[in-house]
Amino acid sequence: MKSQPPVKEGQVISLSVTGLSHDGNGVGKYEDFAVFVPFAVPGEFVRVRITQVKKTWARGKLLEVLEPHPDRTEPKCAVFEACGGCQSQHLTYEAQLRHKWKQVKDCFGRIAGMDDVVIHPVIGMEDPWRYRNKSQVPFGVSGGRVVAGFYRPGTHEIVDMESCLIQHATNDRVVRAVKELVRELRIPVYNEQTHRGVLRHVMARSATTGQLMVVLVTNGPELPKKRRLVDGLVKRLPDLTSLVQNINERRTNVILGPENRVLWGEDCIIDRIGHVEFTISPHSFFQVNPMQTRVLYDQVVKLAALTGEETVIDAYCGTGTIALYLANRAKRVLGVEIVPEAIRDARRNAERNGIRHVRFETGAAEDVMPRWLEEGIRPDVIVVDPPRKGCDPKLLETAVNMRPKRIIYVSCNPATLARDAKRLLELGYPTVEVQPVDMFPQTGHVECVAWMRRPD
């Protein structure tokens, strides 16, 4: 007979917090049973009310910190615990970086069985605030009043806010301006339950060039009081470059629909990473932390060790950001991506920068790269930058079959990075070193660049 969990919902317990989960929650043991406690700090002794019980773990609400740890600090944001935008403001920044390093180290040990890999200290930010260049904020109604903000964790309840301390200040100005005008003009906002109303989300993109894009996501093509709304935003936002209406009529959690209509200004904005300029449209993928993106890409350059004579393949190339950043250091760069719109943007960006020794193709990398091999292409370096789920196993085998000197793996998920590193080791490409980069301060996320080397 299976033993029952030693806790039940509503029970109040005390326990020691011994670690952090991958999403930033404190973790402790009660009678050898795992309990996750949001906003608890490793090293603390806390009092907790159990809110959820599963077979092998429970979740609790932090009631009191009985013995605080020096890593605890006062969150700067007034709605930090209510909002799901970030998870780690209660930790000092130094502690955040240590725990992110430990997360990477633990994944390589536990998942890959690779305890001897060199994992460098996390490269953090000098000022870990106001870094996000893109916000996507849902609009709704609460208590008869229009609200805009991020969702309460685990719900679709909007936490109304006037400022987000990890967003670029310009994005805050955009949300405030739209909220004021929607209230003033009585424009109906979207209701998820009834699928009625007009304004669903507002997206703001602030470029390092000073340009600003605002996207109004609407539940259908109609936008009441459109002329007055446009005039009001142009007046309130002097740096506005592009104002777009995106139409999303589907019942979905996906924010953007397929159709864009320019309401004012340009259809895109220009942003820059180092020496390369990029055209950004509403659907374009672009890293949200421009300062740390350059740090991340410089680590790719460093680990790729290019001399100017190499052929480089960028798998999962997206809109070509890494491929174009590497291009002036390589003889030839080839990028492959399954999303046709991203390849269109990549070619557009190459043309904009006058980079002619790059080639971008649409398709699954694991299908396109074998054909390149048949064409006689022998890459010296392969760069992969997959989504959170990691690389397709066939892609890893294809990459190894091309026999590059180095594989550079850019990852937003240490767990899938470690899983794929284990497979690459089995295929003959051991991981030499890993450099974590803090792209998302005040959250539990960490980005990594890893170098896998072909044995000579």
Q: Which residues are catalytic?
A: 412
Question: Mind spelling out the 3-state secondary structure of the chain?
Answer: CCCCCCCCCCCEEEEEEEEECCCCCEEEEECCEEEEECCCCCCCEEEEEEEEECCCEEEEEEEEEEECCCCECCCCCCCCCCCCCCCCCCECHHHHHHHHHHHHHHHHHHCCCCCCCEECCCECCCCCCCCECEEEEEEEEECCEEEEEEECCCCCCEEECCCCCCECHHHHHHHHHHHHHHHHHCCCECECCCCECCEEEEEEEECCCCCEEEEEEECCCCCCCHHHHHHHHHHHCCCEEEEEEEECCCCCCCCCCCEEEEEEECCCEEEEECCEEEEECCCCCCCCCHHHHHHHHHHHHHHHCCCCCCEEEEECCCCCHHHHHHHCCCCEEEEEECCHHHHHHHHHHHHHCCCCCEEEEECCHHHHHHHHHHCCCCCCEEEECCCCCCCCHHHHHHHHHCCCCEEEEEECCHHHHHHHHHHHHHCCCCEEEEEEECCCCCCCCCEEEEEEECCC
What is the Cα–Cα distance from 376 to 427, expressed in whole angstroms? 22
The two three-digit tokens of residue 370, written as one number? 């074998």
Would you say 211 and 182 are in contact if contact means Cβ atoms under 8 Å apart?
no
168: CB partners within 8 A, 6+ apart? 130, 131, 132, 133, 135, 206
Q: Is 270 exposed, middle or buried (0-12, 13-18, 19+ CB in 10 A)?
A: middle
Beta bridge partners of 59: 36, 52
